């Protein structure tokens, strides 16, 4: 039995929550994964996992063994990095995760530019909207939007993204433009996810954004890209993030609605683990990406503001539904 391989299989099964999911992560057949876990249990003379048809649970011995296995593999990874020179110069594979749409618009171009300055680094980019567990999944850096939960990880704030209410010119010409948040209740909306949404956090300059309203939710989608597409198609109003809409606002394919009302923002962080000496590839990316992310995020917010400032009363299509009676 290859004990190192068995440890990696065990951790994959535990992290993914089932034998089959662990096999998918490792790209290994389920019978092979099950056999290796069983061989490890026979070698130890104790049961590590309680298996059910859909999930697994760790026994008391299993929890202690998994903790030890993580420590062993972390030390081995550290030894590999030292031997390969990753603490002497930026080199090796750097793994990064980021939200899908943010990666497409902002993160991936910055990561690609980073490679031009670091020829001995290769990148593995995981674009996903789920919260990746950095330590468990052996990912070096995450770019995360929104408030962070308490954790042993380190974080560097690189800016904010604004929540912007938008619609296509065609929709506003057809339905009129809302003049206050309460008007939104009379409009169609495209929303993200399956949960019924209340649009909140509208306020005027100098006031806390606390107005809430429920628009008529005509279409729901499950990706950020689809939400942008529905807005462009004229299906209704929607709320998007500044980096998603900045160029559309600038070229006029989308129009910002209720520009005089402030909405909330989401912080953006670079998140990373710091266990012992930090590999230079990680430090190099943090130093490279942080100022460029700040610049790009601020640019998008400024573009949203400029698009609002350049609109005149004559540019605004239609009448508000409230005014139309």
Domain boundary among 241, 266, 291: 266
Domain that holds residue 236: 161-266
Residue 202, beta-bridge partner list: 211
Highest mean pLDDT among 8-12, 52-56, 223-227, 287-291: 287-291
CB neighbours of 321 closer than 8 A, spacing ≥ 6?
175, 176, 178, 183, 186, 187
Q: For the residues of 77-97, what is the DSSP string, one character each?
A: HHHHHHHHTTTTSS-EEEEEE
pLDDT digits (tens, 9 = 90+) for 72-113: 877 777 677 677 665 557 788 999 999 999 999 999 999 999
pLDDT of residue 74: 74
- Give the pLDDT score at 81: 66
Instruction: Let me know if residue 41 belongs to a domain.
Output: yes
CB 242 within 8 A of CB 300: yes
CATH code, 218: 3.40.190.290
pLDDT(207) > 60: no
- Residues 259, 170: one domain? yes
- pLDDT for position 203: 63
For range 120-149, the mean pLDDT: 90
Question: Which residues, other chains included, contact 141 with Cβ-Cβ below 8 Å and sequence gap of 6+?
Answer: 94, 95, 96, 97, 134, 270, 271, 272, 282, 285, 286
Task: Verify that 238 and 117 share a domain, yes or no.
Answer: no
C-alpha span between 8 and 141 (Å, rounded): 21
Is 320 part of any domain?
A: no
What mean pLDDT comes out for the span 45-52? 86
4 three-class SS = helix
Alpha carbon distance, N-terminus to C-terminus of the chain: 78
Average pLDDT over residues 4-18: 85
217-236 confidence digits (pLDDT tens): 889 898 888 999 999 999 99
For the stretch 59-80, pLDDT in tens is 888 888 888 888 887 777 767 7
Classify residue 237 by its DSSP letter. Answer: B
pLDDT exceeds cutoff 90 at 145: yes
Per-residue burial over 45-67, b if 16 or more Cβ lie within 10 Å, else e, is: eeebbeeeeeebebeeebeebbe
Q: Would you state the pLDDT for residue 166?
A: 94
**In-domain check, residue 316:** no
Going through the chain in order, the beta strands assigned E by DSSP cover 49-51, 56-58, 92-98, 121-127, 141-145, 154-167, 188-192, 199-202, 211-213, 216-221, 238-241, 255-256, 265-272
| Cα–Cα distance for residue pair 135/71, rounded to 1 Å | 11
Query: Do 274 and 129 fall into the same domain?
Result: yes
- 313 within domain boundaries: no
Beta-strand pair 238-241/154-167: antiparallel
Comparing C-alpha atoms, which of 231, 246, 248, 237 is closest to residue 213?
Answer: 237
Distance of alpha carbon 286 from alpha carbon 282, whole angstroms: 6
Q: Is residue 322 part of a domain?
A: no
| Alpha-carbon distances, residue 171 vs 192, 236, 238, 318 (angstroms) | 19, 6, 11, 9
Look at residue 92 in the predicted model and tell me its pLDDT: 86
Using the predicted structure, report yes or no on whether residue 250 has a pLDDT greater than 80: yes
> Which parts of 17-138 are beta strand (E)?
49-51, 56-58, 92-98, 121-127
Give CA 228 to chain center in angstroms. 16
Final residue before a domain boundary, out of 60, 84, 108? 84
- Average pLDDT of 139-149? 92
**Do 122 and 206 have their domain in common?**
no
User: Is pLDDT of 317 > 50?
Assistant: no
Predicted TM-score (pTM) of the model is 0.69
pLDDT of res. 323: 37
In-domain check, residue 72: yes
DSSP 59: -
Q: Are residues 104 and 25 in the same domain?
A: no
């Amino acid at each position: 039995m290859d004990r190192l391989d068995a440890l990696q299989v065990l951790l994959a099964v535990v992290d993914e929550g089932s034998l089959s999911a662990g096999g998918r992560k490792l790209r290994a057949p389920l019978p092979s994964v099950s056999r290796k876990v069983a061989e490890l249990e026979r070698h130890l003379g104790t049961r590590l996992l309680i298996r059910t048809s859909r999930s697994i649970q760790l026994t008391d011995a299993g929890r202690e063994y998994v903790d030890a296995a993580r420590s062993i593999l972390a030390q081995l990874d550290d030894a590999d990095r030292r031997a390969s020179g990753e603490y002497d110069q930026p080199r090796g594979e750097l793994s990064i995760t980021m939200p899908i749409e943010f990666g497409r618009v902002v993160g991936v171009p910055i990561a690609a530019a980073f490679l031009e300055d670091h020829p001995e680094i290769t990148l593995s980019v995981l674009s996903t909207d789920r919260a990746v567990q950095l330590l468990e999944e052996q990912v070096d850096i995450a770019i995360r939007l929104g408030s962070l939960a308490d954790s042993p990880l380190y974080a560097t704030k690189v800016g904010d993204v604004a929540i912007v209410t938008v619609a296509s010119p065609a929709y506003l010409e057809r339905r009129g433009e809302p003049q206050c948040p309460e008007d939104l209740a009379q409009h169609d909306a495209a929303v993200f996810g399956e949960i019924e949404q209340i649009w909140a956090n509208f306020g005027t300059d100098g006031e806390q954004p606390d107005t809430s309203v429920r628009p008529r939710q005509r279409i729901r989608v499950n990706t950020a890209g689809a939400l942008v597409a529905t807005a462009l198609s004229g299906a209704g109003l929607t709320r998007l993030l500044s980096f998603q809409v900045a160029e559309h606002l600038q070229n006029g394919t989308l129009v910002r609605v209720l520009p005089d009302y402030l909405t909330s923002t989401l912080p953006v962080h670079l998140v990373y683990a710091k266990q012992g000496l930090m590999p230079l590839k990680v430090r190099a990316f943090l130093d490279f990406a942080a100022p460029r992310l700040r610049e790009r995020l601020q640019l998008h917010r400024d573009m949203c503001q400029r698009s609002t400032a350049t609109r005149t009363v004559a540019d605004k299509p239609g009448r508000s539904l409230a005014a139309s009676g």
